[in-house]
């Protein structure tokens, strides 16, 4: 079965550079969430969202956190951990949610979203291990980012 890629010409047309930027961003987020690259259709929808819903950082800390996520790898892990617990309306969290929504609605990734994690009889242990790793990531992220977050909040340059 062929999936049509249907990018639309919208009044808020994005530049080619911006489109490539979003494609790279989407690839990083998709790999981070489910470990696979998105399909061209999924990336087209991700870019489409930004045409019809222009979003950006709300403040300097939000921009900093999003910039950290752009490093991929450890940067994205730390940004995700921090935003999940301590900065829940952040731009990086919004984009991760958008990415997840597209992944869960379309093939082949919806199967990955639906499938229970490995663990079987030891599911509680694997979940606990996940939580411990997440706690470590959050601790590292908080040590690194919380002072900056507080600084921007105090100087009223944080957008949340």
Site for another protein, rule CB under 8 A: 1, 3-4, 6, 32-34, 42, 45, 49, 52-53, 77, 80-85, 88-90, 93-94, 96-98, 100-102, 104-107, 110, 113-117, 119-120, 123-124, 126-127, 130-131, 133-134, 137-138
CA dihedral 111, 114, 90, 160 (to 10 degrees): 150
DSSP annotation string for 52-88: HS----SBHHHHHHHHHHTT-HHHHHHHHHHHHHT-T
117 vs 155 by CB, closer to another protein: 117
Q: How far is the CB of 4 from another protein (least distance, A)?
A: 5
Q: What's the closest the beta carbon of residue 129 comes to another protein, in angstroms?
A: 10
């Amino acid at each position: 079965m062929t999936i049509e890629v249907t990018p639309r010409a919208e009044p808020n047309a994005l530049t080619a550079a911006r489109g490539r930027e979003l494609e790279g961003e989407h690839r990083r987020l998709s790999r981070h969430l489910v470990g696979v690259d998105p399909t061209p259709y999924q990336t087209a929808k991700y870019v489409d969202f930004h045409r019809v819903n222009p979003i950006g950082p709300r403040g300097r800390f939000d921009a900093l956190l999003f910039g950290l996520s752009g490093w991929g790898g450890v940067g994205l892990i730390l940004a995700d951990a921090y935003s999940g617990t301590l900065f829940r309306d952040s731009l990086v969290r919004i984009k991760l949610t958008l990415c997840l929504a597209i992944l869960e609605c379309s093939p082949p990734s919806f199967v990955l979203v639906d499938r229970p994690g490995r663990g079987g009889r030891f599911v509680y242990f694997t979940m606990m291990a996940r939580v411990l790793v997440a706690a470590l990531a959050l601790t590292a992220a908080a040590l690194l980012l919380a002072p900056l977050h507080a600084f921007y909040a105090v100087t009223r340059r944080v957008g949340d």
